[in-house]
A and B are shown apart, each in its own frame.
Chain A
Amino acid sequence: MKNINKLMAALGGATLVTGLAIPAASAQEGEWDIAGFVENATYYRDGQDLSKVRNTGQFEFSKDFGKKFGLSNFRVSGTLRATYDAVYDINDDEWGDEAGGARNFENADSITAQAVFGGDGSSPWGGSLLSGGVPGPGFGFDLSRNPNEGLKVLGEDYASPRGGVTIGVPVRPCDEDSRGCGLDDYMDYDKNDLRFPEFNDELDFIRELYVEGAIPTGDTSELFLRIGKQQVVWGRTDLFRVLDIINPVDFSRHNIYDELEDIRIPQWIATAEYRWGATDWFEDLNVQLVWNFDEFRPNDLGQGGTPYSILDAGSFFRAMNNCWENGCTVSNFAPAAAANPVDPGFLAADFAPGVIGIRDVELPDGHDQGGIKMEGVFRSVGFSLNYYHFYQQLPVLRGGIPAQNPFTGEVGVWDRLIAFDIEFPEVDLFGGSLDFYIDPIKTVFRVEATYTTGEEFANTLEDKLYSDSDVFRWVLGIDRNTFIPFLNKNRAFLISGQIFGQHLLDHEKEQALLGEIGMPDWDDNYIATLLIKGWWKSDTISPQIITAWDYEAEAGTFAPSVDWLISDNWRLIFGANIKFGDGMQDQEFDDCRSCNPFPGFTGPPNQTQSLGLSGIQPLGRFRSGPLGSASQEDEIQITIRYRF
């Protein structure tokens, strides 16, 4: 799937390319082997104009030094990458300094609000009827510090609030608007960070830099060592990761659609691999030890105001951090009856800083992630057994932090209050994989399965609004090359299908008075993918269709593309990425308005769990998944690349 979306190319890259062209290097033994490319990827999104104008230069090098330092075939390898995404300059009213604007917030069905504000009854940011110390000291915020500008309503690109909660999201780069950028080293990108993502404190322009070599231990056996910044790839699946979890992934580059090769975040890792080769029992056998001694880095989810923010989590987090630090308006938060007993609707509420939101992020130090893999071939069946200890690469929001009771001003820890720190819990993964071929049906099968302990999920049944669950994930993939003679008699089509499954063993969900409460993630869910790819003209023209379907979210994507290898140097890819099925607007879950964190103020004194009042935000995203939550991101994509 990823291949498809390496799409597109913007034509302006040609001049850049010409200037950078380097004669092709044809390495012979002992010489530096160098290669690289320059590329322009231009994507156009329905309703938002340009979503990507990414110009990339990549340079790869390696050299085999022969015997050095007691190692045979001592080799140094590296990959440098520099990117400039001009979309933040060209389409700055969507993604840059001019993005967002003033916003109003829904007071659904409130006759009081309609009378006050007119129109549809929505109230401006910071101007709700529950503001300015009414009905307590924790309501209202300083508009001079947190003005109604540069905002979007959380989820406005996907759906209207429809009576649910929404929050204002600052969407300009953090140097232009620092609101919601208060999480230290997490989702705090300024404009240059967004435009030039590799040039950061982690020196990501060094995609890879490692040394390697082997210590022969026999005719067929050796100890292979590699250390440096690198990608370590486990697993046998495409698109979604089950075993391939050693390197975190940068989803901000292009959601799930770029090749993992391009979006894995390289880490400083040491690997030691003992290779027996063929043994009495196995056609091939090896054991690999992996130690990720780098600082922990989570998956990059993008941030509010960027075009690729998977699950739109970056917007939610930024909005919530702004709530904590500067206060915020939340639509439809309180029953309007609180202000007018005959009002059947809801009112937006302006919260003061320190009441709700995301306070901080606790990034683990890292340096201690690692695992072991035994891999081999037995009776023509490829297999692996894997164990890995790591930190969850997706964030979890842990409640239970000290916060202000907005009604009394008292600071304390309140059960079921939507005030969080972001954490990344420790996880242990046990897994394995197989691949094998069944000749009578000419089909290759790929299987992966993992069992993890320690993962944490949102859970409105819990006082701290999260809980852990063991998780079982699996994937079954089939690959079959099939001739379709009337389309191409010379070249078979690749038909590749995969089904991913995920089961949360400690899933909790209950039916409450007003709706379901508990874990928004699905107890069981399945995602199917299908790739059909053909080749013509000596493989220089390759159209393909990729589709994916999320069973529970009832959301899918359809991504046709044509890859044209114009010459050994030039390549053009034209494609599209069209979403279908349900979007985020079709998913609702308990939004904790009825969680009653302040009994006596927000509900009856004896109410100790949510009543299940639901909305699209904020937890619908977990049910909508990466496909459904991107339902409004239909794109046309062009990529042009010059290789040298």
Chain B
Amino acid sequence: MFKKTFTTVAMAAALGVSQVQAATMEDVERSFYPYKDGGPTFEGLAPGMTINSGNVAQFKEILDAAMFQKISDGWLEMTVGETTSFDLHPNYVQATRDNLGQVSLGNELGQINGFVAGRPFPEEPDENDPRAGEKLSWNYKYGYNWGDNAAIAPFYWKFRDMESGKIERTIKFNFHFLNFKHRVNQDPVPEFADNPSNLFRGIYVQVIEPFDVKNTQLLIHRSDDDLVRDNTWLYLGFQRRVRRLSSGQITDSFLGSDLMIEDFEGYNGRISDMNWTYKGTVNVMLPFYNHNALTLATDMVEKDGYQFVDFSGKGGCFPNITWQLRRAHILESDPTDDNHPISKRVHYIDAQTFTIPRTLIYDRKGDLWKSFIIGQAHPDHHLEKNKGTGVSIDDSFSQVDMQAGHCTTGQFKGQLDPAMNPPKLFTVQNMRAKGR
């Protein structure tokens, strides 16, 4: 073990990786609390105002290209909110401090050394660091995106025709996430004892409605070794059988939606499946908001009174949310597999939370194909059980197929509740038991 680590570090040094300055406690503070002294500003931008086709030219600099075009074309209007701090859980921040300087990239894409928990690379990305993009991707992978575990229950996906606004299909899911390793908040910390395949994370999805896909279940086992391929299984209710999925299916349209499994959360795959390029840091409008302060949908109201984010705009494809001017790292990922159906993704990674609220996806020809929004809700303005959890909650999404004039929207009820995500939920056998 020592020998391997030593060799890797030595080779990394030879490649110049170690020339990048080591992270400091100041870097940690800057990384987690960038708005301690106030948020960024832009001339003419003020909370409460609306950016629309009439004034969008003024704000082109703080909008990504696709969003600028959509607003220009009148597809949506953007309500501006105050930039607020989304503080992640103190244990995650402390874990970052505790492990500061102990993490390094391995020799190969997808290798990391010395990581225990927290944010692996809290330092500011350096444009001169050829592996800066890779480090950002690790920060995302080991981010506190859903905490140690979470459930989205229920989770409504609507397939919409952008031209007619017709909702073609509504699928009701439950999603569950569980980190088996690098846990910081809930027992067992930092990992589960029985983990023979060295899993980092499990994702379990169950379809509740409609009837034709009811009881369809998806299980993803992601190894902590990024070079190991995910294991993915699908349970088909009409067959009552668990089928293993090939990796090809994670880049396929998921149940006919505009998302592939690999799109979940912005990127749901291995670091080693992509080449990562850091493209700079910008102040840009991102979908961060307080859920309870929004004008919410009045249909699908839950028994506990929870209301989902509503949608409007062209084809009903855009969430009725507020947007904040925030610092974001632009990260480009292009697939290592030449047969991948996309040529690249351009992610706008929120510099504070390392969530991916905006992604632009380009087809194999290099044309813009899809535009992905994941609305981030502050946990303290959400369900009571979510308050104080320090998780930036994925709360709404819009994936627009720019070429097909079609979109899929998502309405979340994110719940940070360990009781909803026991380890036994993330087993193949559970899929058979949950099925009929």
Give A residues with C-beta under 8 Å from B: 3, 24, 26-28, 35-37, 60, 62, 77, 79, 208, 212, 219-222, 224, 231, 233, 235-236, 238, 259-261, 273, 275, 277-284, 286, 375, 377, 379-380, 382, 435-437, 439, 442-444, 446, 479-483, 485, 489-492, 535, 537-540, 565, 567-569, 571, 643-644
Q: Are B159 and A259 in contact (CB under 8 A)?
A: no
- Most chain A beta carbons < 10 A, residue from B229, B241, B341, B432: B241
- Interface size on B, as a range, is 35 or more
- The 19 listed contacts between A and B (C-beta, < 8 Å) are A26-B300, A35-B211, A36-B211, A60-B436, A62-B436, A222-B424, A233-B240, A233-B432, A273-B429, A278-B192, A286-B429, A436-B244, A437-B244, A444-B246, A481-B249, A482-B248, A539-B256, A569-B210, A571-B212
Q: Are A538 and B246 in contact (CB under 8 A)?
A: no
Q: Is B21 an interface residue (CB 8 A)?
A: no
Q: Which of B196, B258, B406 makes the CB contact (< 8 A) with A278?
A: B196
Q: Are A277 and B427 in contact (CB under 8 A)?
A: yes
Interchain CA distance A280-B192 in the complex, whole Å:
12
Residues of chain A contacted by B197 (CB below 8 angstroms): 278, 283, 377, 379-380
Q: Which of B244, B248, B255, B433 makes the CB contact (< 8 A) with A539?
A: B255
B363: nearest chain-A partner, CB-CB: A489
Q: How far is the CB of A454 from chain B (nearest CB, A)?
A: 27
Q: Is B168 an interface residue (CB 8 A)?
A: yes
Query: Interface digits, B230-261 against A, CB 8 Å rule (1 contact, 0 not)?
Result: 01000000111111111111011101111000
Interchain CA distance A26-B302 in the complex, whole Å:
10
Q: Is B385 an interface residue (CB 8 A)?
A: no
Besides A221-B424, A231-B436, A489-B364, 12 new A-B residue pairs in contact (Cβ under 8 A), listed by A number = A60-B436, A235-B241, A283-B196, A283-B231, A380-B197, A435-B243, A481-B246, A489-B363, A492-B252, A537-B256, A567-B169, A568-B170
Residues of chain A contacted by B257 (CB below 8 angstroms): 538
Closest 8 CB pairs of A and B: A539-B256, A481-B248, A643-B211, A538-B256, A283-B197, A278-B194, A568-B210, A492-B252
Q: Is B80 an interface residue (CB 8 A)?
A: no
Q: Are A278 and B423 in contact (CB under 8 A)?
A: yes
Q: Given known contacts A35-B214, A278-B196, A540-B256, is B428 in contact with A377 (CB within 8 Å)?
A: yes
A280: nearest chain-B partner, CB-CB: B196
Q: How far is the CB of B179 from chain A (nearest CB, A)?
A: 14
B229: nearest chain-A partner, CB-CB: A439
Interchain CA distance A591-B89 in the complex, whole Å:
81
Q: Is B208 an interface residue (CB 8 A)?
A: yes
Q: Is B339 an interface residue (CB 8 A)?
A: yes
Q: Are A437 and B424 in contact (CB under 8 A)?
A: no
- Most chain B beta carbons < 10 A, residue from A26, A37, A219, A538: A538
A212: nearest chain-B partner, CB-CB: B433
Q: Are B303 and A492 in contact (CB under 8 A)?
A: no
Interchain CA distance A437-B230 in the complex, whole Å:
10
B408: nearest chain-A partner, CB-CB: A538
Q: Which of A279, A489, A565 makes the CB contact (< 8 A) with B194?
A: A279
Residues of chain B contacted by A238 (CB below 8 angstroms): 239
Q: How far is the CB of B135 from chain A (nearest CB, A)?
A: 26
Identify which of residues 259-308 in chain B touch chain A, using a CB-to-CB cut-off of 8 Å: 300, 302-303
Residues of chain B contacted by A480 (CB below 8 angstroms): 246, 248
Residues of chain A contacted by B427 (CB below 8 angstroms): 275, 277-278, 284
Q: Is B329 an interface residue (CB 8 A)?
A: no
Q: Which of A26, A62, A538, A568 makes the CB contact (< 8 A) with B406?
A: A538
Q: Are A437 and B249 in contact (CB under 8 A)?
A: no
Query: Interface digits, B157-196 against A, CB 8 Å rule (1 contact, 0 not)?
Result: 0010000000011101000000000000000000010111
Interchain CA distance A277-B195 in the complex, whole Å:
10
Q: Given known contacts A208-B436, A481-B246, A481-B248, is B208 in contact with A27 (CB within 8 Å)?
A: yes
Q: Are B423 and A491 in contact (CB under 8 A)?
A: no
Q: Are B244 and A382 in contact (CB under 8 A)?
A: yes
Q: Is B221 an interface residue (CB 8 A)?
A: yes
Interchain CA distance A537-B214 in the complex, whole Å:
20
Identify which of residues 348-374 in chain B touch chain A, using a CB-to-CB cut-off of 8 Å: 363-364
Q: Is B209 an interface residue (CB 8 A)?
A: yes
Interchain CA distance A43-B134 in the complex, whole Å:
58
Interchain CA distance A264-B429 in the complex, whole Å:
21
Q: Are A284 and B248 in contact (CB under 8 A)?
A: no
Interchain CA distance A569-B247 in the complex, whole Å:
31
Residues of chain A contacted by B436 (CB below 8 angstroms): 60, 62, 77, 79, 208, 231
Interchain CA distance A373-B172 in the complex, whole Å:
33
Interchain CA distance A233-B235 in the complex, whole Å:
12
Q: Which of A224, A259, A282, A479 makes the CB contact (< 8 A) with B239?
A: A259
Q: Are A220 and B194 in contact (CB under 8 A)?
A: yes
Interchain CA distance A261-B212 in the complex, whole Å:
13
A285: nearest chain-B partner, CB-CB: B429
- Most chain A beta carbons < 10 A, residue from B159, B214, B243, B339: B243
Q: Are B239 and A220 in contact (CB under 8 A)?
A: no
Q: Are B239 and A261 in contact (CB under 8 A)?
A: yes
Interchain CA distance A277-B426 in the complex, whole Å:
9
Residues of chain A contacted by B364 (CB below 8 angstroms): 485, 489
Interchain CA distance A379-B221 in the complex, whole Å:
12
Residues of chain A contacted by B248 (CB below 8 angstroms): 442, 480-483, 492
Residues of chain B contacted by A535 (CB below 8 angstroms): 253, 256
